[in-house]
Amino acid sequence: MAGTIATMKSITITLFPFLIVILAICFSFCDANSNVLCIESERKALLKFKNDLVDPSNRLSSWVEGGDCCKWLGVVCHNSTGHINQLHLAAPLSVPHFDAPVGEWEAYHRSKNNSPLGGKINPSLLELKHLSSLDLSNNNFSGIQIPKFFGLLESLTYLNLSQARFRGAIPHNLGNLSKLQYLDLGCNQLEGVVSESHFQARFLNSFVIH
């Protein structure tokens, strides 16, 4: 019995340095992931995108030259590669309907960043090759069409352009987004008829267009 205990102690002592090394590697890897920086070309693409936007409430004030775009408002990066894979730029609150209850209007005016984004949408977004989710809902892109180049964002699985005041024809090449699972074009001033069958996406499970 004593011999067995001695053997176990010997094994424990022998393995201890290896456990320390393994733990050090794990902690180093986790720390590297948490401090991953965004890709330079993708940061430049976002800054070009920002420059064409109208941002009355300065919502994108964190988007500055030289900054880590993975920490910018609305930007989500892959935790190991640093590639941008999500842009969440929906307006915090949409403008209430003219006959909405007083409480809705009060909540809208209390919001510090209630102004929607507007302006133009720069095709620099095409530099975001790993972008899987794009949300521009509740903004004010009044007078412009949904950009045709959106149909070239091949990695998209989620696209929400609802209540963003787009107008004109719906780009038919949106049907080329074969990975798309969610599409919402609702509450815009759009023309033409596009049905769910128009889309190549095999996994499209939510489709709103009215």
194 or 28: whose pLDDT is higher?
194
Percent of the chain scored above 70 by pLDDT? 63
Same domain flag for 30 and 46: no
Statement: residue 206 has pLDDT above 90: no
What average pLDDT does the chain have? 79
Statement: residue 54 has pLDDT above 70: yes
Statement: residue 148 has pLDDT above 90: yes
Same domain flag for 57 and 27: no
Report which of 111, 7, 110, 117 is spatially closest to residue 51, judged by C-alpha positions.
Answer: 117
Same domain flag for 26 and 103: no
Q: Which two tokens stand for residue 27?
A: 């902690």
Torsion angle of C-alpha atoms 184, 188, 189, 191, degrees rounded to 10: 0
Rounded Cα gap, residues 113 and 62, in angstroms: 14
DSSP string, 24-39: HHHHHHHHHHHTPPPP
Same domain flag for 28 and 62: no
Same domain flag for 201 and 129: yes
18 or 191: whose pLDDT is higher?
191
Same domain flag for 161 and 83: yes
Domain containing 11: what range? Answer: 1-35
Reported as a single tens digit per residue, the pLDDT across 88-124 is 999 875 566 656 666 666 655 555 556 899 999 999 9
Statement: residue 31 has pLDDT above 50: no
Q: What is the pLDDT of residue 143?
A: 84
Same domain flag for 126 and 198: yes
Same domain flag for 55 and 156: yes
Statement: residue 131 has pLDDT above 70: yes
Rounded Cα gap, residues 10 and 184, in angstroms: 64
Same domain flag for 79 and 170: yes
186 or 108: whose pLDDT is higher?
186
Query: What total of structural domains would you count in the chain?
Result: 2
Same domain flag for 74 and 16: no
Rounded Cα gap, residues 128 and 65, in angstroms: 17
Q: What is the CATH number of the domain that holds 73?
A: 3.80.10.10
Statement: residue 203 has pLDDT above 90: no
Same domain flag for 23 and 89: no
Sorted by sequence, the CB contacts under 8 Å of residue 5 that are 6+ apart come out as none
Mean pLDDT across 186-208: 64
Same domain flag for 179 and 93: yes
